[in-house]
Homo-oligomer: A and B are copies of this chain.
Amino acid sequence: MTRAKTVKRRRASRGSGDQLRAEIIAATKDLLAASANSDAVSIRAVADAVGVTPPSIYLHFADKDELISAVVVDVFAELDAAMMAAGKRADGPLDRLRAFGLAYVRFAVGHPEHYRVATMERCVDEAPGGQSDMDKILADSAFTHFMQTVTACMAAGIFADGDPLPVTLQLWSAAHGIASLMIAKPYLPWGDLEVAADAVLCAAALGRATADLLGGSPDAGQVTSWLREQGAPT
């Protein structure tokens, strides 16, 4: 059932080398969506899907790692776009934070293999180059937009004033936790995914806010007695 070569034929062009590049990235994403990890997607399969021979790939990417990196960049851009779209109709910074988180989880669950390769595969370099990686992530639109909203929540008195970075990391952890667990263990009794995700996200934000009320990082004893004050059932 191999596609005859004549069915899809690639034509040359002159100035527009970028078109094939985009097609290669798109094909890689498609193949990735049906694979366990990026190792399982081969240059040959990508070339085949695009209707081109394997060496052509190397005209656009130095090697396989560079191709996968380009896919990751593309996935993060798509994720950011989904979050931005969801945040548009939010009412206030806390509601926007929630919309962002829900969009984040929705994206991950909807594109599990893309999310996996973008956030869960071992990084290529652990050398000093890691620093530039960090800059890349911190400058990444999705993360930045998330952090801007955390800053807005601080300004609105929802979180205590301070450095938004640790709070952002904390909330991102919550979103990533529910997203990646739903992907990795889909057979667990999650119930409605949106409801479960919302519960985690709300609890994370509310927990941060409440911990701030209690002075930052209360221990178990403080929490227990505070809950008793609040009239929690015993």
Contact = CB atoms under 8 A, between A and B. Distances in A.
Interface of A: 36-37, 39-40, 91-92, 94-95, 98, 116, 119-123, 130-131, 133-134, 137-138, 156-158, 160-161, 165-166, 169-170, 172-178, 180-181, 184-191, 195-196, 198-200, 202-214, 217-221, 223-224, 227-228, 230-234
Contacts of A98: 220
Tallying the copies of this chain within the complex gives: 2
B207 A92 contact: no
A137 B181 CA distance: 13
A224 B94 contact: yes
Contacts of A120: 116, 120, 180, 184
A160 B233 contact: yes
Given A204-B207, A220-B98, A178 B180 contact: no
Contact of A133 (B175, B187, B219): B187
